[in-house]
Chain A
Amino acid sequence: MAANENRRDQKNTRFVPLLRIAFRWSMTRRKTAHQTGLRFAAIGIAAGIVALIVVMSVMNGFQRQYIDSLLETTSFHIRIKAENSHVPALSQSLRQNPLVRSVTPFVETNLLAEGPENHQSVLRLMWVGPQDLASDAGFCRALHLSPALAEEGLESGILLGSEAARLLGAYEGIKITMRGALVSPDEGIQQYETDAPVSRLFRSGYYELDAGLAIVSREKIANLSLAPAPTVLGVKLKNPEQADALVAALSHEEGIESIESWRDYNRSFFSALRTEKIVMFLLVSIIFAVVAINIHYSMRRTIARKARDLAILSAFGTSQRSISTIFMFEGLIVGIVGAALGIVVGIPIAQNVDRIINGAIALLDGIMSLLYRMGIAKSIPDLRLFSPTVFYTEGIPSRIFTSDISLIAAFAVIFPAIAVYLAYRRFRNASPLEVLRSE
């Protein structure tokens, strides 16, 4: 009989009544310290979410900017080292593959470049055919060059990163000399040298590329007495996520010496980015931990104050499980309200973070100008957040990922619920009769 009753009891532990009670306790019209505490907790969670969304979006923005620049230029989605005799056939076959967006054969070497006033810098030199480069629209876009300009520039000289040009003291029309060396077991160290005028400067926005990349026509290799390195096929896909599948499919093709996807090629860089993101997420999540601790202590006070009500519910047959569920719901309500508020406010801020900061700076700038004109301020300071004299960025990029928002929201909802549950756990073994007697 008792077993049957227990089964019926579990069936009767319906969530809706418990949720209603939790809602009433949280949202009672009477202004109570408990309710005020919950409101502040929800606002705290919302503030934490806004901070996390904005920080993560800006971090994603910077990371995606670098990743996109890398994938569209030196990394490609797939890099295939092929025997020179198989390069034309492989290129042809890959271009006909429906997954492939472009195929760019190139030779890659590191060289010591020297500018007109003997300034030297190490450059990563890509030897690419002008037409091949022009047909890779993504590559041209990453360099902020049109395909026509890129092709024309490559036919008449070197495409050089703007920061590399600055380091070498070079500019458009100025000839630079590049020297490299090959180590051969038979011949020993052999030097080679080539020179060409700078035909175009590019600025990708990614400092490593702008300071270290130069592109020269692949036809110039014919002028050298020896080939500086084997040919690589840079393959870009319509969907980069299919890279690993295509690598697996191509790995046994004839003529391929080695093949790797963008994930393998950039493994250490992406690991560093991922670590950076996780650490930042954990650091900013401390906000939730602080809010959860606040909620925990606030709920402990509340539960102590509500001990009589809990004893009454217990005396009328409400199980301890149901009572703990009521408090869990209270925590969830706080978390959900805070999360919803944080998402509604955080996403627009993250989307417009550059405009908001520039607007704020413009406003401050205006105020400072006014103060200067009125003779109150002695000078107008440079208020730009990323001054070009210090930072290599023109604006604050931002990318919002649904997965990040979902994870942040889940944290925001789960933390208070756990905090509330732990607060209740201290009181669950209290005897209702003892509580009522003490009243």
Chain B
Amino acid sequence: MNEPIIECRDLIKTFSSGAEVLHILDHADFSLEKGKICTILGPSGSGKSTFLAILGSLERFDSGSVRVDGYELQTLQEKSLSVFRRKVVGFVFQFHFLLGDFSALENVALPGYMAGLPRADAWKRATQLLDLVGLRNRAHHYPSQLSGGERQRVAIARALINEPPIVLADEPTGNLDAASSEELRSLLQRLPEAAKTTLVLVTHDSELATIGDTSFLLKGGHFECIR
């Protein structure tokens, strides 16, 4: 077995709602090998998105340890977390969240450019990634000129610009019609090989869940390996 790229031990995350304390993750353990696709399923409110946010360092956790690509997240300060997000993870959200003032190409290139890539290199890599997601001909269109599926594919290309070892996708097909979902499913399936990355996918979509090498069910604050 390869060294896990993600390893969570004894992870606890609670939310307080008045006097009530919700145990979203309750001494949860999780581990994932490099280069795999992992799908996480679970009922609404079970904490799937929260877990993804913890892996991406957008959310802090109460206790336990989270090691992602060698980074011990519980030890990092805000500055180091920015570096971690820039270098280790790429996000794909349920909504595309593209910057409306920038074209598709610029949206993809910008995180790379901000991370220190020379402008020409960032734009070249962004063009290659738009090619990968089949949108090279739409590079200079603004998000408002793209369809929902196209915007989401641009978002995937953007997540890959810094060549992150891990891509975190939170319900990426949640807002798409059946045809667009199918296109995206196909794209996500070949992502680890094409982009040499590991994909953690949170979804309700049972069709999409089948692309995973491993699948977990998050229920009652614990992960249960179902495949």
Contacts and interface: CB of A to CB of B under 8 A. Distances in A.
Contacts of B110: 17, 21, 313, 316
A318 B76 CA distance: 16
B30 interface: no
Interface stretch (A5-13, A86-94, A280-288): A5-13
A12 B86 CA distance: 11
B219 interface: no
Contact of B75 (A2, A6, A24, A309): A2
B45 interface: no
Contact of A8 (B56, B83, B114, B142): B83
A324 to B, nearest CB: 13
Interface string A21-45: 1001100101010000000000000
Interface string B68-112: 001000011111101111110011010101111110001000110
B165 to A, nearest CB: 14
Contacts of B75: 2
Interface stretch (A57-65, A67-75, A431-439): A431-439
Given A317-B85, A433-B59, A5 B80 contact: yes
B101 A9 contact: no
A14 interface: yes
A316 B83 contact: no
A9 B82 CA distance: 9
Contacts of A317: 82-87, 111, 114-115, 162
A308 interface: yes
Interface in A306-324: 308-309, 311-320, 322
B148 to A, nearest CB: 15
A141 to B, nearest CB: 61
A65 to B, nearest CB: 53
B225 interface: no
Interface string B111-126: 1011110010000000
B22 interface: no
A21 B82 CA distance: 18
Contacts of B84: 5, 317
A315 B58 contact: yes
Given A318-B114, A433-B58, A436-B93, A309 B99 contact: yes
Contacts of B158: 316
A316 B58 CA distance: 10
Contacts of B211: none
Contacts of B98: 312
Interface residues of A, number: 37
Contact of B113 (A17, A308, A314): A17
A228 B182 CA distance: 111
Contact residues on B (Cβ < 8 Å of other chain), bracket: 35 or more
Given A14-B116, A25-B101, A318 B56 contact: no
A311 B91 CA distance: 12
A317 B115 CA distance: 8
Contact of A316 (B59, B79, B91, B100): B91
A432 B75 CA distance: 20
Contacts of B115: 12, 317
A6 B79 contact: yes
Nearest to B155: A312
A234 B31 CA distance: 94
A20 to B, nearest CB: 8
B12 interface: no
A317 B91 CA distance: 11
A30 B101 contact: yes
Contact of B85 (A18, A30, A32, A316): A316
Given A308-B97, A312-B99, A316-B86, A12 B116 contact: yes
B132 interface: no
B82 to A, nearest CB: 4
B91 A9 contact: no
A435 to B, nearest CB: 10
Interface string A359-387: 00000000000000000000000000000
Contacts of A21: 110, 114
A2 B80 contact: yes
A5 to B, nearest CB: 4
B8 interface: no
Contacts of A24: 101-102, 106
The listed residue with most B CB atoms (<10 A of its CB), out of A18, A28, A431, A436, is: A436
Given A12-B115, A21-B110, A433-B58, A320 B78 contact: yes
Given A21-B114, A316-B114, A316-B158, 13 more contacts: A2-B80, A5-B80, A24-B102, A24-B106, A28-B101, A309-B101, A314-B82, A315-B56, A315-B58, A315-B85, A316-B86, A317-B114, A432-B58
Interface of A: 1-2, 5-6, 8-9, 11-12, 14, 16-18, 20-21, 24-25, 28, 30, 32, 308-309, 311-320, 322, 431-433, 436, 439
26 contacts: A5-B80, A5-B83, A5-B84, A9-B86, A11-B116, A18-B114, A30-B142, A311-B97, A313-B111, A314-B82, A315-B56, A315-B58, A316-B85, A316-B110, A316-B111, A317-B87, A317-B114, A318-B82, A318-B86, A318-B111, A320-B78, A431-B58, A432-B58, A433-B58, A433-B59, A436-B93
Interface of B: 53, 56, 58-59, 70, 75-80, 82-87, 90-91, 93, 95, 97-102, 106, 110-111, 113-116, 119, 142, 158, 162
